[in-house]
Amino acid sequence: MKLTELIRDLKKSPLFYMFVSSRELFHTNFWYWLKKLNPVEMLKLFSDQEFVIDDGTIFSREYRQGRKEKKAIIDLAIHHQKKPIIVIENKIKDFPTQSQLSRIQESFNDDNTIKYILVTLFWQNDLKFEGWETVSYLELSQRIIPENFVSNENDPHKKIYFQNLIQDYKAFTSKLAEIAMELKVNQEYDFAKSHKGDLFQILNESKLWEGYQKLRASHLIQCFSNSGYYKDLFGKLPITLNYSVNNKKATLDFFFTILKAENIKYTIGIQIEDNQFRSFVNGNYGKQFAEKLLEKNLFFDAAYLSKKKRESFLKYGTHFKYQYTEIEQQSFEDLFRKINAKLSEILKFKEEIIACIPD
């Protein structure tokens, strides 16, 4: 299997064993070291725009920006004369959301004179992040010219060592990019851990599984948000779309927030995790709300019994109650149709459902 061979080759580099301990920080630190050798060449890796580099240019790792609710930690920020000019967000072990990137922009008061650069291992051309320029790890590798970084080094031993180290890093990032390209992205729900047992073993060993899960989940959420299903639902009641990775499984949420009074708020909707298609409610008295819906034959299946305890609901904590059916690999279109049917049911019986919310 080509993927197995690529990962085997990746592990031949000593850089791999430094990479797995910190992943994103490893790369950011390496770029910072390249800046020490030649800041002009270092910036060429991320942008073809020319920037003034002098004593007034400051490179900062893990830079804290903003105040109060508009705060962000920047992987690498470049200031000139105390003014931010470049913001670099490095994503290799996971994948960003638009909200995460927007929060970074907001922390700089949406300053559109700043160049925002997303450096990512995983990428899909139909994903767009407004205001951000994307640099893939493949492009990064291709732009590295080792000899350009050591042209000012007078010590011949250091020059050879540094050039060989940078060459190894170039090859290492290229191999990472090859691995990412082997992980095909399509409009199929075929990336659940239960569907991809062999792939999980391969990627989890090299610490790439969660990044792959987040890429695929993010892509699915964006495809749904661009679909006619989403537009129809959103026009009737605001809908929240979200994803995360829990216990190495992508969790995707599609839900409405409903109010009975200003201080009585519940969420109701669909959650997909692994091979489970869940109908759920969540709120302070989630148990009572779920039971009332079941009594009124709304949203939940009266015939449902959990496999182990033979109960009407499963739960997370006290307030999150759900039922599930198992799903197989299927197209996004088929999955979206299924999600839409269940969410449309909520809209159709919205008033009856709200009436079931405990006081």
Local structure of 88: helix, strand or coil: strand
Q: How many CB atoms lie within 10 A of CB 40?
A: 12
Quote the pLDDT of residue 1: 62
End-to-end CA distance of the chain: 58
Q: Flag residues of the chain having pLDDT under 50.
A: none
Nearest residue to 338 (alpha-carbon basis) of 271, 292, 264, 283: 271
Pair 181, 138: CB distance under 8 Å: yes
Whole-angstrom distance, CA of residue 166 vs CA of residue 176 = 15
Calculate the dihedral angle through the C-alpha atoms of 88, 93, 98, 101, rounding to the nearest 10 degrees.
-30
Class of domain 2-182: alpha beta
pLDDT for residue 95: 73
| Separation of alpha carbons 161 and 102, rounded Å | 40
Q: What is the pLDDT of residue 76?
A: 96
Strands 239-246 and 115-120: unpaired
Q: How far apart are CA 355 and CA 343, in angstroms?
A: 17
Rounded Cα–Cα distance for residues 327 and 304 (Å): 16
Query: What's the pLDDT at 141?
Result: 97
Tokens 């709120």 belong to: 283
d(CA 60, CA 36): 12
Tokens coding 349: 């019986």
- Whole-angstrom distance, CA of residue 144 vs CA of residue 243: 34
User: Which pLDDT score is estimated for 119?
Assistant: 95
Output the pTM of the full model.
0.79
Helix (H, G, I), strand (E, B) or coil at 81: coil
Check residue 94 and report its DSSP letter.
S
Residue pLDDT, tens place only, 171-213: 999 998 998 888 878 899 999 999 888 899 988 887 788 888 9
pLDDT for the residue numbered 335: 98
